[in-house]
Amino acid sequence: MNQTLSLRVTSNAKKKSKAMRTLFYVCMVAIPVVQFVIFYIVVNFNSILLAFKSYDNSTGVVIENWIGWGNFERIFQIFRSENILWIATKNSLLYLVFNLCVVIPLSMLFAYYIYRGYPAAGFFKVMLFLPAVICSMVLVIFFKEFVETAIPELAERWFHDDGWYAILSSESKGPVALMIFYVWFLFSGSILLYLNAMSNIPKSQIEAAQIDGAGEFRTFWRIVIPAIWPTLVSLIILAMADFVANQANLFSIYGIFAPSWSQTLGYYQFFLVARYGADSPVNYPIASAFGLLFTAIVAPITLLTRHLLLRFGPRED
């Protein structure tokens, strides 16, 4: 009987302990779950509904109306009647291509160079990490002063060429300057991720490959890339998913006065909202419709790309 009583006490103690652990778990996750529901699901759901509304403040009072697919029809009308969206699409595509074909390969090569500790690796590490540790606005100010002041004065003094002033306003020279800054700005974050992934590669694998006669290129292609493939896939997916939202630092450089030839889809959508400020929501619905439309186009392509990269990409084994 005493043994039975002891077993019951032990069972009750275990149930109480399990209940306390469950209560502790519920209390710990309740706050983030509620925050996620309110500030992500609810907020985004309202943003989706905005795509089917319109706001009218011509009388001084904001009036809300449901217009169904009217905002999407307006988007196609803008595509047909104005060139700005075609220019923005072309620029966004150009930035995506540069990201995939220039930034990502060069970032991997520089990360491998630093990872292997070759000469001046420390110098490159500091210089390429600067955008990650310095405020972006500081970099933008430095870039603008260098492009708008230093380069024109040097060109005039050394080559007697006064055609380099107002580079960022020039439709011929501005895109090149913006692309150079964009590539440099993206380098830091990518290199940090690649270096972190490469640091997990056992040194013995690199040494074994070199003993077997593999050169640097073969070591990089056969050992390093398969080892960091998940990181590479993540960055490719992020670049493709950011195709519609990428502003390419245009707001930091130009504010809301970016030239039409420089605008991207991300900047154009931001401009729709920022043009009249938070006090006038007339363009909120059309901006929301833009987001839904381009998400419906980009999301399937991004998911398909991820599936193909993970299925047919290199493996460590």
Tokens 């992934």 correspond to 197
What is the b/e burial string over 254-272, where b = at least 16 CB atoms within 10 angstroms of the residue's CB? beeebeebbbbbbbbbbbb
Q: Which two tokens stand for residue 310?
A: 């993970």
Tokens 């390093």 correspond to 224
Question: For residues 272 and 282, what is the distance between their CA atoms, to the nearest angstrom?
Answer: 9
Q: Which two tokens stand for residue 88?
A: 């923005």
**DSSP-assigned beta bridge partners for residue 308:** none
Q: Are 202 and 142 in contact (CB under 8 A)?
A: no
Please tell me what DSSP assigns to residue 134: S
Please tell me what DSSP assigns to residue 14: H
Is the pLDDT at 100 greater than 60, yes or no?
A: yes
Residue spans per domain, the chain:
2-46, 80-312
Question: For residues 232 and 220, what is the distance between their CA atoms, to the nearest angstrom?
Answer: 14
What is the torsional sign of CA 223, 224, 229, 230? positive
Strands 63-66 and 53-56: antiparallel
Per-residue pLDDT band for 256 (boundaries 50, 70, 90) equals: confident
Question: For residues 116 and 207, what is the distance between their CA atoms, to the nearest angstrom?
Answer: 11
Q: Are 261 and 267 in contact (CB under 8 A)?
A: no
The region, left, alpha or beta by phi > 0 then psi within -120 to 50, assigned to residue 92 is alpha
Give pTM, 2 decimals.
Answer: 0.80
Please tell me what DSSP assigns to residue 263: -
Q: Are 222 and 209 in contact (CB under 8 A)?
A: yes
> Which of the four CATH numbers 3.10.20.30, 1.10.3720.10, 1.10.1040.10, 3.30.950.10 does domain 80-312 have?
1.10.3720.10
Question: For residues 113 and 237, what is the distance between their CA atoms, to the nearest angstrom?
Answer: 24
Q: Are 201 and 231 in contact (CB under 8 A)?
A: no
Per-residue pLDDT band for 95 (boundaries 50, 70, 90) equals: very high
Question: Across all residues in the chain, what is the average pLDDT?
Answer: 83
Count of helix runs (H) and strand runs (E) in the chain: 15, 2
204-252 pLDDT per residue, tens: 888 788 787 778 888 888 888 888 898 899 889 988 888 888 888 898 8
Q: Which two tokens stand for residue 199?
A: 């640091």
- For residue 144, what are the CA distances in angstroms to 153, 181, 221? 14, 10, 38
Range with top average pLDDT, 55-59, 123-127, 181-185, 273-277: 181-185
Phi, psi angle pair for 36, to nearest 5°: -65, -45
pLDDT, average across residues 122-141: 76
In which element (H, E) is residue 66 found?
strand 63-66
Please tell me what DSSP assigns to residue 316: -
The reported pLDDT for the residue numbered 263 is 92
